[in-house]
Amino acid sequence: MASSLVMAGCGEPAAEASASVDPYASESQSLDEGVANERRIIVYQTTSLQLYTVDKKGKDVLLAQRSGVPMVSPDGRQVAYAKLPDTWNAGDPVEHAELHVFDSKSGKSERLTRGHDDAEPIWTPDGRNLLFQSTRRTGMASLWKVRVGGNGLEQVTNEGLVRNAAGYIPNPVSSTEAQWAPTERRIIVYSTTSLTNGDVRVIDFDRQLDVEKSYSLGQGYSPRWTEQGTVVFSQNNGGQVTFVEVSVD
């Protein structure tokens, strides 16, 4: 059974654990009353999209027969993932998916949503909420939010709109493409495409995770924040790739 695994130290680059790895694990440390306490969560996904965790005894525990990309919480203690039907295969449309959160301390998974196509979870920087994508809930591809524990489910973008109407906000191409700003932790940047020109967008949220403003930074892909708070992204111009740096208000 082929699989992928990586461990990431808090504030340090990821270290490979095998010849072919993907970033589905996290390690972090904190101080409690002057004593260093290590917190570690390890999850990995096989090539058939089975999702496993490794418990405290080093035993592999199956979390889902099929799942989307697992997203580790900011404190490294939890993993959010979209649980797909057991018969789902890569390339199939996602018509049914439910959000789950696995907690390393309790060793249990909790279902947050059900009955729709809820996928692509994104942790908020405080680790208290998740943003996710759904189309079937309203018939419009939109971002939604839910608190860890399953309360506070609300639509965040495109409420009452039709596609391409004024105010319409396209979804990120995937949860891994969305990045929170390093200084202002209520702003995300993302692209609507991967490895080809699409819309590079910014969403500015208030403290309740409601949208204050959203706008485009231009056409491109693979945006990332810099330490200075600017955004750098790639742009394909007739086969030539250039890099664009933009200030974000």
Residue 109 lies in a domain: yes
214 belongs to a structural domain: yes
pTM of the entire predicted model: 0.82
User: For the residues 55-59, what does the mean pLDDT come to?
Assistant: 89
- Say whether both 140 and 189 belong to one domain: no
Mean pLDDT of the residues in the chain: 84
What percent of the chain clears pLDDT 90, i.e. is strictly above it? 68
* Enclosing domain of residue 46: 41-171
**Count: domains in the chain:** 2
26: pLDDT strictly greater than 50: no
State whether 217 and 111 are in the same domain. no
pLDDT at 19: 32
Structure tokens at 223: 């945006």
Shared domain for 212 and 244, answered yes or no, is yes
pLDDT at position 22 over 80 = no
Same domain, 135 and 235: no
71-94 pLDDT per residue, tens: 999 999 999 999 999 999 888 889
100, 80 in Cβ contact below 8 A? yes
Same domain, 48 and 162: yes
* pLDDT of amino acid 39: 52
Q: What pLDDT score does 222 carry?
A: 94
The answer to whether position 10 is within a domain reads: no
Inside any domain, residue 22? no
Query: Which of 137, 171, 205 marks a domain boundary?
Result: 171
Residues 166 and 177 in one domain: no
The string of DSSP codes covering the chain is: --EE-EEE-TTS-EEESSSS--S-EEEEEEEETTEEEEEEEEEEEETT--EEEE-TTS-EEEEESSB---EE-TTSSEEEEEEPPTT--TTS----BEEEEEETTTTEEEE---SSB-EEEEE-TTSSEEEEEESTTTSS-EEEEEETTS---EE-S-TT--TTSTT--PPPS-GGG-EE-SSSTTEEEEESSSSS-EEEEEEEE-TTS-EEEEEEEEEEEEEEE-TTSEEEEEEEETTEEEEEEEE--
Q: Are residues 47 and 99 in the same domain?
A: yes
Span of 3-7, 51-55, 151-155, 212-216 with lowest mean pLDDT: 3-7
Q: Is residue 151 part of a domain?
A: yes
- Same-domain status, 113 and 181: no
Please report whether residue 29 resides in a domain. Answer: no
